[in-house]
Amino acid sequence: MGKSRAVPGLGSIKALTFDVQGTCTDFCGPLQRMGDAVNRAKGLSLDWGALSAEWRGLYRATLDAVIAGQRPFLRVDRIYRETLDTLLDRHGLGGTFDAAERDEMNRVWSRLEPWPDTVPGLARLRRRFVLSTLSNTAMSTMVAVVKHGALPFDAVLTAELARIYKPAPAVYQLAVDYLGFAPSEIMMVACHKYDLAAARAFGMRTAFVTRPLEFGPGESPDVAPEDWFDVFAEDFLDLADALGA
Amino acid sequence: MGKSRAVPGLGSIKALTFDVQGTCTDFCGPLQRMGDAVNRAKGLSLDWGALSAEWRGLYRATLDAVIAGQRPFLRVDRIYRETLDTLLDRHGLGGTFDAAERDEMNRVWSRLEPWPDTVPGLARLRRRFVLSTLSNTAMSTMVAVVKHGALPFDAVLTAELARIYKPAPAVYQLAVDYLGFAPSEIMMVACHKYDLAAARAFGMRTAFVTRPLEFGPGESPDVAPEDWFDVFAEDFLDLADALGA
């Protein structure tokens, strides 16, 4: 991994907005632990790594349908809940889990775990910048994740407030309206290039943070640098170094 | 002052929502310091205690007009800015301050100072409850106040998200929708009875916190207990005691 490479002109940055699922937190670990608990409770030997990947794929397809206007706005927690039903039906597990058990399984998305550098990195960055979430997650899920991980943000903003999802510009506009800074004074931090590309098109600065373990140890997400990133950082501590925080 | 008097049934509370201006923070001190600085800079000897009270009265009248539907929704920071113009004109000071100076004067509402018990009280309460602002202030002003005072909230919610003001039920509904709890699981904390009366009518629990110095040392705000408060507390430390936090 290369060291962070800060570019000139970052002195005007006042606020950092963060993608959360993947960028600030690990979801694979919590999903695996949820799956292990379910297998034990039900005497099953399901492969929850594969099931989780399939669940996330179903979620992504529904989210994309909302973004494309093919479906009305639906909160992320309800998309996950609906696609969990689909997932279980597909695998002949429709009769194995009642509604309360499915609700509890779905709450795994509120128990995401911060990466080891997340809290110390945010604490350093917070001394210098206003920090906010800018996630596609539901507001109540995001508040639960922030509380669960004791993530030191100054504000919690999610796409639910715009009733449309990233990469729609209306989501990035939330940061302008509710944090009170111009786009050029705000830096979007994410481990996903589509998110940063949209933030950049909106006029925000961008920081890519590598999360090579986002999809688990066996996967290889795209963590290659791009020449249009303002900052490329290995983790939040490296980001704090790059921004002088 | 009496000690706090907790009532039974508070064990179901999951989240506390806080009025901020007055309840969490002092505005008289910052207004007085702003006025002193203005007097020095301009060689004036204006009575900023009296001017501030008049400014707040003009603000309240405009806010009430918005609540009554006589004016379209206008953000609190813009109401203060508009009524500052009115105030200065009334006192023959229209030519004394340019727009940039007025903008700077208006930013006093972003520099409110936490009461001495506010941060330690919130820190204790946060270990047990989800804490959120629920203020009439603009979101960007609230984020600035939270940042300025290092107030340890889990979420920042303000009436701007509902585009109507307390005591309208839609503002209390924000806490239900965005924190994810039922009204009966949420306790509104304020030093203003109208706010708690509306929260109670909405189904929330209520905690009154006395702020006898809200309007300065010479004033006597209504800090008398009422039998319908769930908790009556002298300050946030007393509130933490009452809630076992």
Question: For B156-177, how does the pLDDT look when each residue is reduced to its tens digit (9 = 90+)?
Answer: 999 999 999 999 999 999 999 9
B105, pLDDT greater than 80: yes
Q: Answer whether A178 sits within 8 Å of B155, measured CB to CB.
A: no
Q: What is the pLDDT of residue B8?
A: 67
Q: Which domains does chain B have, with CATH numbers?
A: 15-26+112-242 (3.40.50.1000), 28-110 (1.10.150.240)
Q: State the smallest CA–CA distance between residue A2 and chain B in angstroms.
A: 33
Mean pLDDT of A46-61: 96
Label residue A6 by pLDDT band (50, 70, 90): low
Question: For B56-87, how does the pLDDT look when each residue is reduced to its tens digit (9 = 90+)?
Answer: 999 999 999 999 999 999 999 999 999 999 99
Distance CA A232, CA B132 (A): 33
Contact residues on chain A for B180, CB-CB shorter than 8 A = 138-141, 143-144
Contact residues on chain A for B143, CB-CB shorter than 8 A = 130, 132, 154-155, 178-180
What are the residues whose beta carbons fall under 8 Å from the beta carbon of B218, sequence distance 6 or more?
none
One DSSP character per residue, chain B reads -PPP---TTGGG--EEEE--BTTTEESHHHHHHHHHHHHHHHT----HHHHHHHHHHHHHHHHHHHHTTSS----HHHHHHHHHHHHHHHTT-TTT--HHHHHHHHGGGG-PEEPTTHHHHHHHHHTTSEEEEEESS-HHHHHHHHHHHT---SEEEEGGGTTS-TTSHHHHHHHHHHH---GGGEEEEES-HHHHHHHHHHT-EEEEE--TTTT-TT--------TT-SEEESSHHHHHHHTT-
Closest in B138, B147, B154 to A146, CB measured:
B154
Question: For A87-105, how does the pLDDT look when each residue is reduced to its tens digit (9 = 90+)?
Answer: 999 999 999 999 999 999 9
Q: Answer whether B143 sits within 8 Å of A161, measured CB to CB.
A: no
Mean pLDDT of B17-35: 97
Q: Which two tokens stand for residue B154?
A: 């889990």
Under an 8 Å CB criterion, which residues of A touch B?
A: 130, 132, 138-141, 143-144, 146-147, 154-156, 160-161, 177-180
Burial (0-12, 13-18, 19+ Cβ within 10 Å), A66: buried
Label residue B218 by pLDDT band (50, 70, 90): confident
